[in-house]
Structure 1
Amino acid sequence: MAETLPLEGHWLWMILGFAMGVVEIVAPGYFLIWLGVAALLTGIVALLTGITLLLQLAVFAVLAAIAVFAGRRWFGADAIDASDPLQADRAQRLVGHVVVVIEAIDHGRGRVEAGGGIWNARGLDAPVGAQLRAVGSDHGALLVEPLP
């Protein structure tokens, strides 16, 4: 005698879909949500039609492909245009600002205060308290030079 699952197939699909939605909320990536939607829809189809497990897997595969394709197209077509292209690059946003040396720049390296934070700096040697201008950034360090 073959063992049966304690839950019917449609409930397993719905639980799987819900679980994928929860995982997407905890660790967002915009992928599992679409598989979760496909699993929920597969559960609904299985509940309404009573199809076999093999057909349920086929329905899930088709719905998953459609859902992932539609989701990627939806999010890909509406890419967010930032009004500030340097929004995520804090160091580049400081270019042109006056910075104050808080750890002497010696042999081309030191630390400066700029934009409410402390930054590694590279440039000509300068004593503590000197005011310099940020002219660029390189791997998170501000490139500085003397004020004119």
Structure 2
Amino acid sequence: MITRIVAELGPWAWWVLGIVLLILEVLMPGVFLVWIGVAAIVTGALTMLFWGAAWWASQVQWIVFAMLSIAAVLVGRRVVLSSARKTDEPFLNQRARSLVGRTATLDQPITEGRGRIRLDDTVWSVQGPDLPVGTRVRVVASSGRDLTVEPV
């Protein structure tokens, strides 16, 4: 049945496949099928261009489609990742990392390498050298919920 439909559609079969993949991308968003759909549409354009050529058999079309799909996915991935890196809030949802460089006063002494500071409205566990209460410290690193501090 599918072979008959493809034979009847001729070079338009690639366009139909591309549009179906783009519609599926809208229904199941994931930014993946769009690139394969673009590859199918480009393959359809090439098929329209080379339709009468003897060397443009269905096997060649599938190979071209596979290569274009791989290239489109790789290029699309690079485009999506490069646009995702640019932000005016790089530490959004990474609150502990956003505190690196800030200074605070110890609320509890650091004994045996552990203590507490208050930054804004939160009390944070800190690691660092043993220091008395009231010492000014600077946050130099974060790991999970713990901050690493050093005296200022």
TM (norm. structure 2) is 0.53
1:30-84: CA deviations, max 9, x gaps? x554223113434566688598754542331232244345546767899967789
Counterparts of 2:5 and 2:46 in 1: how far apart (Å)?
13
Question: Are residue 99 (structure 1) and residue 100 (structure 2) matched?
Answer: no
Show the counterpart of 1:137: 141
1:111 to 112, 116, 119: 116
Counterparts of 1:38 and 1:63 in 2: how far apart (Å)?
5
Counterparts of 2:4 and 2:118 in 1: how far apart (Å)?
62
Q: Please identify which structure carries the higher helix content.
A: 2
How much has 1:122 moved relative to structure 2?
Answer: 0.7
2:2 to 1, 5, 14: 5
Summarize the alignment of residues 42-61 of structure 1 with structure 2, pairs less than 5 Å apart: 42=43, 54-61=59-66
Q: Identity of aligned pairs, percent?
A: 31
- How many residues end up aligned between the 2 structures? 136
Q: Secondary structure at the match of 2:2?
A: coil
RMSD of Structure 2 on Structure 1 (CA): 4.5
2:115 partner letter: G
Gaps of 5+ in 2: 7-12
Question: Are residue 16 (structure 1) and residue 13 (structure 2) matched?
Answer: no
Counterparts of 2:34 and 2:118 in 1: how far apart (Å)?
43
Q: 1:65 to 1:19 in 2, by over 3 A?
A: same
1:62 partner letter: M
Counterparts of 1:63 and 1:56 in 2: how far apart (Å)?
10
TM (norm. structure 1) is 0.54
Q: 1:132 to 1:36 in 2, by over 3 A?
A: farther
Please tell me whether the aligned partners of residues 13 and 42 of structure 1 are also in contact (alpha carbons under 8 angstroms). no
Gaps of 5+ in 1: none
Q: 1:115 to 1:22 in 2, by over 3 A?
A: farther
1:5 partner letter: I
1:1-54: CA deviations, max 9, x gaps? xxx03994423443124324655xx445xx554223113434566688598754
Show the counterpart of 1:34: 35
